[in-house]
């Protein structure tokens, strides 16, 4: 049996050991679709950008103001019928995400609120990652959204896309994630969101489809490793790779456009019970806004 790194915070060691005990050892070159950046033990948050710059020998692309979560919507490999039906505003959002700003509403299922508090106390505040609000937010709260493209120093090729979201009023990091597409073993192309954690990551793989009104529907819902869904990954102290698939946890995100306005609704469920709902009001910035790049 593998042993997690000993020189780290006890809470992190314990959760990593849980992944080893109840997860599966996987061979990296046979599961490249699942791999993604891991975090360091002394915080993630805004440090992630610099960590990846150094580790991957990359630099921030400062040449463009228009940066998206996707280089092109075609990366999702939707059918021609789906692509033609998909809202052009939604396409623009994914290809030019840096041109948009966000307001957020949050609604918890009362029975699961305790998980929000525990997550913040034990992990989120300390590691600056997955910092979900532990209270309902009924009035929209503004988010600062930054899309950071990391490119190869030599050929200027785009290598990593980071989406950093913080609350504007507090500068508190909510998410610091790497976004890309992957092809799962079934051959389906999915959107992959990777949230680095100490010595590992939490990875959400979302299967895309298009709704009747042109909305993009992203679902993480499967039964086993190899399906879309929620994964914990880590390396033990001997550099073995472990993965735990959480089939009871599901995520659905619907991004739609109505009257030239974009909105998104994200629903997280556990054992088929709604845990948490996020509602995003997404507004396009005026032409040529001032872009802050760090």
- For residue 23 the two structure tokens come to 């997860």
Taking alpha carbons only, the member of 207, 177, 221, 194 closest to residue 76 is 207
Return the pLDDT at 292: 52
pLDDT number for residue 65 = 65
Identify the bridge partners of residue 243 per DSSP, sorted by sequence position: 24, 233
pLDDT of residue 122: 64
187 contacts: CB under 8 Å, gap ≥ 6: none
Neighbours of 84 (CB within 10 A): 10
**Beta strands 241-245 and 189-197, pairing class:** unpaired
From the list 77, 74, 76, 71, the residue with the least C-alpha distance to 96 is 71
Which residue shows structure tokens 């869904």?
Answer: 229
Nearest to 67 by CA among 141, 204, 164, 152: 164
Half-sphere exposure of 221 (CA within 13 A, CB side): 14
Do 203 and 194 meet the contact criterion of CB atoms below 8 Å apart?
yes
Structure-block tokens of residue 57: 């020998």
What is the C-alpha separation between 68 and 64, in angstroms, rounded?
11
d(CA 65, CA 283): 17
The dihedral through the CA atoms of 174, 128, 245, 137 has a sign that is negative
Task: Give me 265's structure tokens.
Answer: 């609704």
Reading the block at residue 169, the tokens are: 């009023």
Q: Determine the length of the chain.
A: 294
pTM (2 d.p.):
0.90
Residue 64's pLDDT is: 62
pLDDT score, position 234: 95
| C-beta atoms surrounding 185 within 10 Å | 12
- Residue 9: closest CA among 129, 174, 123: 123
pLDDT tens, position by position, for the chain (294 residues)?
789 888 888 888 889 999 999 999 999 999 999 999 998 877 677 788 888 998 888 999 986 667 999 999 999 999 999 999 999 999 999 999 999 998 989 999 988 888 777 777 766 666 666 677 767 777 767 888 899 999 998 888 999 999 998 888 777 778 889 999 999 999 999 999 999 888 999 999 999 999 999 999 999 989 999 999 999 999 999 999 999 999 999 999 999 998 878 999 999 999 999 999 999 999 998 876 455 544
pLDDT of residue 294: 44
Contact (CB, 8 A) for 161 and 151? no
Q: Please tell me the predicted confidence (pLDDT) of residue 255.
A: 97
Q: Is 26 helix (H, G, I), strand (E, B) or coil?
A: strand
Looking up tokens 């009023």, which residue turns up?
A: 169
Residue whose C-alpha is closest to residue 120's, from 60, 188, 174: 174
């Amino acid at each position: 049996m593998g042993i997690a790194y000993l020189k780290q915070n006890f809470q992190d060691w314990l959760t990593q050991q849980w992944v080893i005990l109840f997860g599966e050892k996987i061979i990296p070159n046979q599961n490249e679709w699942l791999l993604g950046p891991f975090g360091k033990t002394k915080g993630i948050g805004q440090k992630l950008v610099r960590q990846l710059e150094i580790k991957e020998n990359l630099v921030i692309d400062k040449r463009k103001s228009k940066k998206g979560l996707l280089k092109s919507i075609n990366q999702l490999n939707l059918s021609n019928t789906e692509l033609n039906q998909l809202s052009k505003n939604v396409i623009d959002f994914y290809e030019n995400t840096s041109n948009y700003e966000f307001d957020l509403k949050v609604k918890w299922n009362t029975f699961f609120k305790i998980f929000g508090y525990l997550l913040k106390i034990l992990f989120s505040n300390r590691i600056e990652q997955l910092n979900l609000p532990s209270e309902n937010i009924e009035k929209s709260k503004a988010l600062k959204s930054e899309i950071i493209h990391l490119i190869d120093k030599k050929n200027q090729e785009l290598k990593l896309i980071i989406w950093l979201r913080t609350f504007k009023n507090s500068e508190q990091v909510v998410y610091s994630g790497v976004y890309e597409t992957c092809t799962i073993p079934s051959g389906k192309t999915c959107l992959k969101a990777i949230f680095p954690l100490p010595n590992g990551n939490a990875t959400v793989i979302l299967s895309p489809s298009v709704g009747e009104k042109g909305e993009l529907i992203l679902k993480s819902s499967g039964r086993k490793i190899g399906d879309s869904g929620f994964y914990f990954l880590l390396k033990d102290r001997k550099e073995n790779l472990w993965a735990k698939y959480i089939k009871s946890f599901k995520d659905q995100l619907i991004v739609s456009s109505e009257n030239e306005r974009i909105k998104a609704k994200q629903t997280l469920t556990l054992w088929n019970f709604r845990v948490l709902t996020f509602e995003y009001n997404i507004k396009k910035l005026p032409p040529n806004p001032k872009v802050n790049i760090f």
